[in-house]
Structure 1
Amino acid sequence: MKKKNKEDLYKENKLEASKLRIAIVSSDKCKPKKCHLECKKNCPIVKTGKFCIEVDHASKIAYISETLCIGCGICVKKCPFTSISIINLPKDINKDVVHRYGPNTFKLHRLPIPKLGQILGLVGTNGIGKSTALKILSSKLKPNLGKFNNPPEWRDILSFFRGNELQIFFTKLLEEKLSPIIKPQNLNTIIYMCRHDLSILDYLSDYVCCLWGKAGAYGVVTCPFSVREGINIFLDGFVPTDNLRIREESLNFKLATDQDATDEDKKRLHFYNYPTMVKTLNSFSLTIDKGHFSESEIFVLLGQNGSGKSTFIRLFAGLIKPDNLESLSFLESLSVSYKPQQIQAKFTGTVRQLLMSKLKGLYNDPYFNNEIIKPLKIESILDNQVLTLSGGELQKVAIIVTLAKNTNIYLIDEPSAYLDSEQRIIVSKIIKRFILNTNKTAFIVEHDFIMATYLADHVIVFDGQAGVNTVANTPQTLAAGMNKFLKIIDVTFRRDPTNYRPRINKYDSVKDKEQKLNGTYFIIDE
């Protein structure tokens, strides 16, 4: 092994000195009374006599000194409850700390910059600091600049933001000259919008701030970008102003077309026909026109609320019976896996126990782990009780359980519900790849338009009077189906030339009028 010279050691020490360490200890997972204090016993700094980790069996939670910590990661590996995270950051970012909730807890770096008369959009994952930033900007939370033991006065806070637009903003907020309430017609009001549906965020925002970091540990707010640039930066996964990659790979929304599958591919697939079906529920009536589907394809159901999309899914799942009983034999012949719109946690036990009971051999299957489980990043909740999971966590577990069933048809009702924009991207890619590689069929209800267009091979459009009498039309190609649906709601979409993501045209804009005149409400190629 090559021995390091003094110059190499000097460079390493200099690089190490330039790093800022954040130690996060989960108050939910850390249980000193139930462990052998492995973190403290194995810490090399504690062995030298320094108090890097302070904890005993009477403690409620372990305390880690970020100043003394050398970032060896031994405590992270030794903790039996996986309650510790040690994160290295550039040291110069420490001067931008706006708020920290306490020792070894989440901290926020920088704040979005509000502008009068404009809508600010925030893009980032769950647990990255969007709500904290909004609480500070709406005066519901006083920023402590990271000094949680000795919170600063407003005089010091204003001095911290000296020379920044935020100094003027907070001054006006304190003088009650600003009212941060969603009220579009008032030009003296600032509007903040935090949405996970990127197409809606794109349409409503005047400018965007992205947030990057590690969920539950730290969040960093970028400088303001134009809406198109900001969302594209988030999707690309690289922040040029911080010279940092926040995601391993970018997402491209190049959409499916009929030419994507060769004639040889189509010959190998099995095609199925389904009959016309009618279902009446109280005063609501749904008619499903006959159609067909094949393997390795995803059918996205599009329609307004109350148009019968979930009823369609429940019919195919066999949960309800059609009025015309002659179609019952077809439905009974289907082998399906169903994920409902509303997920109810009923399992008594941990996530790990649930997955082991439902997945059986697939739980340790390398392919299923690499393609489905690992991308969803559920390692941190495996030992959590299912009954205590949040909506987003429950959604990810439900998707895993649904895809684990060995069936021919997957019926998935709103897979994006409770998920943030990045998790929606991950789920879209997982489902798309899974259906294609396993030669299965999926029928999906989805309201996130970007996610719907990314997933869809074919579209089933629901029209008629919502809640009264609707029709599920025969499956159409992506372009034809999207055009039909968008014409119903009188909205046009264009494509971003960089990553092909669909973008809503401003109502009555030149582009909007031009596309409506040509009858192209949805453009596949530009």
Structure 2
Amino acid sequence: MRIAILKRDRCQPRKCQYECIKYCPMVRTGAETIVIGEDGKPVISEELCEGCGICIKKCPFEAISIIGLPDRLTGEETHRYGENGFVLYGLPIPKPGKVTGLLGENGTGKSTAIKILSGLIVPNLGAKTATWDAIIKRYAGSELQNYFIRLAKGGLKISYKPQYVNAIPDYFRGNVRELLEGTDERGMAAELVDALELNAALENDIKELSGGELQRVAVIACMIRDADFYFFDEITPYLDIYQRVRVARVIKEVLNDRAVVVVEHDLAILDMLADYIHLIYGKPAEYGVVTMPKSTGRGINEYLSGFLHAENVRIRDKPIEFTAHPPREKQEEERRVSVEYSEFEKSYDGFVLKAKAAGIESGEVLGVVGRNAIGKSTFVKVLAGEIEPTKGRIELDIKI
């Protein structure tokens, strides 16, 4: 099986000579393997393409990909974004009382998958459009058949938390309290605000919230809807380690009798939260394949190793390995202090950062770890000379 992908944002027919058509061997024999579409961009026939790869090499903008896929995926397209566009194969399976994780590389269709299950996208099965009857028939005999029957009839209550929380102020005007009170269908807003430590932000306008505050507001807003299925498109961005653990625990406890699907990249949080996971592999912006469910531990280990045993597919040339090792030994001549500072303080209204005297040596990588909003960025800005300390001094003899 072969699919052809045209990266439409890269394709610039006004600046090329249609090399993809000019050099295609099949076109030269008279076949309409590549033709010019209504928008002036090439349309590649996957049925006629022989996969020689000449168009890939000749395209001056690297806008074409020809991908060979296992024959078992033939006719199994779940959704396709237009002709020669991204293709998604398969979907995760939400189960009542369980948390389903979805793990995979960016651009392989995780958000598309949960938007389909949330009813935000109607899957087209690889065609221009598809009827609900065709969709239900495609999944006949599977756990998703009944799901789509209920979804088509409007019989599912669904709560969805979007990936990009920084867009929330574009859709809502008001403060945090007003947003949550208008959303609370379970009478749990106050309890969850307390659990996720958002009481201090209740009267703040939505557009004034930090990324971490917006993320927690979005998670709470999703949980306080009375739904059958809950979909979270990433829960950890902008959150520190403490907040990530708190959010995961609250989701697990509050939604323990509901079906939950979580897209997540933080492996530790996914391991803690999910009952089982689906991996999704493929090529970013080209195609994605959702695996059958795996136990959480097995799924994470296969993702790290780069080899999926049940599918007999290698998704990565090298495994991702975490090695524990002591700090490297530095030669005496390397030991030169680049940044030196005395004990200093930086004060703002209602906040004081205190730092003890120290120095940073040349060639040293120094990590700064801590909860959000306790001064990590302020500390670095003082060292970089961007802001002056209220007390103490910083001696800089370097370029930053």
TM-score, normalised by the number of residues in structure 2 = 0.72
| Aligned residue number for residue 315 of structure 1 | 382
Q: Secondary structure at the match of 1:46?
A: helix
| Aligned residue number for residue 38 of structure 1 | 19
Residue 129 in 1 paired to residue 109 in 2? yes
| Aligned residue number for residue 26 of structure 1 | 7
Match of 1:220 among 273, 284, 289: 289
Following TM superposition, by how much is the alpha carbon of 1:153 offset from its aligned partner in structure 2, in angstroms? 2.0
Following TM superposition, by how much is the alpha carbon of 1:68 offset from its aligned partner in structure 2, in angstroms? 0.7
Q: CA offsets, 1:239-297, max 9 Å, x none?
A: 11221111111122222335xx45xx454530535421211233321111123433443
**The structure with more helix, counted as a fraction of residues:** 1
Following TM superposition, by how much is the alpha carbon of 1:119 offset from its aligned partner in structure 2, in angstroms? 1.2
Residue 244 in 1 paired to residue 313 in 2? yes
| Aligned residue number for residue 227 of structure 2 | none
Q: Secondary structure at the match of 1:33?
A: helix
Q: Does structure 2 conserve the Cα–Cα contact (< 8 Å) formed by 1:212 and 1:220?
A: yes
| Aligned residue number for residue 116 of structure 1 | 96
Distance in 1 (alpha carbons) for counterparts of 2:309 and 2:148: 28
Distance in 2 (alpha carbons) for counterparts of 1:195 and 1:271: 41
Which amino acid letter does the alignment assign opposite residue 45 of structure 1? M
Q: For residues 461-480 of structure 1, what are the structure 2 equivalents within 5 Å?
A: none
Match of 1:201 among 270, 281, 286: 270
- Unaligned 5+ runs, structure 1: 1-19, 337-526
Match of 1:158 among 119, 132, 136: 136
Following TM superposition, by how much is the alpha carbon of 1:95 offset from its aligned partner in structure 2, in angstroms? 3.3
More moved, 127-136 vs 287-296: 287-296
Distance in 1 (alpha carbons) for counterparts of 2:150 and 2:122: 15
Following TM superposition, by how much is the alpha carbon of 1:207 offset from its aligned partner in structure 2, in angstroms? 1.3
Which amino acid letter does the alignment assign opposite residue 31 of structure 2? K
Distance in 1 (alpha carbons) for counterparts of 2:39 and 2:256: 52
Residue 257 in 1 paired to residue 322 in 2? no
Q: Does structure 2 conserve the Cα–Cα contact (< 8 Å) formed by 1:31 and 1:60?
A: no
Distance in 1 (alpha carbons) for counterparts of 2:114 and 2:9: 25
Distance in 2 (alpha carbons) for counterparts of 1:240 and 1:180: 33
Q: CA offsets, 1:296-325, max 9 Å, x none?
A: 432221111111100111112111112235
Residue 89 in 1 paired to residue 154 in 2? no
Following TM superposition, by how much is the alpha carbon of 1:178 offset from its aligned partner in structure 2, in angstroms? 3.1
Q: CA offsets, 1:476-509, max 9 Å, x none?
A: xxxxxxxxxxxxxxxxxxxxxxxxxxxxxxxxxx
Give the number of the structure with larger relative contact order, counting CA–CA contacts within 8 Å between residues 6 or more apart: 2
Change (3 A) 1:284 1:251: same
Distance in 2 (alpha carbons) for counterparts of 1:74 and 1:133: 32
| Aligned residue number for residue 31 of structure 2 | 50
| Aligned residue number for residue 208 of structure 2 | none
Q: Secondary structure at the match of 1:298?
A: coil
Which amino acid letter does the alignment assign opposite residue 159 of structure 1? K
Following TM superposition, by how much is the alpha carbon of 1:188 offset from its aligned partner in structure 2, in angstroms? 5.9
Distance in 2 (alpha carbons) for counterparts of 1:136 and 1:129: 10
Which amino acid letter does the alignment assign opposite residue 150 of structure 2? K
Q: Provide the identity percentage.
A: 40
Distance in 1 (alpha carbons) for counterparts of 2:141 and 2:15: 50
TM-score, normalised by the number of residues in structure 1 = 0.55
Q: CA offsets, 1:341-374, max 9 Å, x none?
A: xxxxxxxxxxxxxxxxxxxxxxxxxxxxxxxxxx
Q: CA offsets, 1:98-141, max 9 Å, x none?
A: 11121100010111111111111111111100111011111111
Following TM superposition, by how much is the alpha carbon of 1:59 offset from its aligned partner in structure 2, in angstroms? 4.2
Which amino acid letter does the alignment assign opposite residue 371 of structure 2? Q
Q: Does structure 2 conserve the Cα–Cα contact (< 8 Å) formed by 1:128 and 1:216?
A: yes
Change (3 A) 1:274 1:127: same
Q: Does structure 2 conserve the Cα–Cα contact (< 8 Å) formed by 1:209 and 1:222?
A: yes
Which amino acid letter does the alignment assign opposite residue 313 of structure 1? V
Distance in 1 (alpha carbons) for counterparts of 2:359 and 2:92: 49
- Would you say how many aligned residue pairs link Structure 1 and Structure 2? 307
Q: Does structure 1 conserve the Cα–Cα contact (< 8 Å) formed by 2:306 and 2:318?
A: yes
| Aligned residue number for residue 218 of structure 2 | none
Q: Does structure 2 conserve the Cα–Cα contact (< 8 Å) formed by 1:32 and 1:59?
A: no
Q: CA RMSD in A?
A: 2.1
Distance in 2 (alpha carbons) for counterparts of 1:192 and 1:268: 54
Q: Secondary structure at the match of 1:297?
A: coil
Which amino acid letter does the alignment assign opposite residue 269 of structure 1? E
Which amino acid letter does the alignment assign opposite residue 8 of structure 2? S
Q: Does structure 1 conserve the Cα–Cα contact (< 8 Å) formed by 2:118 and 2:158?
A: yes
Q: Secondary structure at the match of 2:367?
A: strand
| Aligned residue number for residue 63 of structure 1 | 43
Q: Does structure 2 conserve the Cα–Cα contact (< 8 Å) formed by 1:138 and 1:180?
A: yes
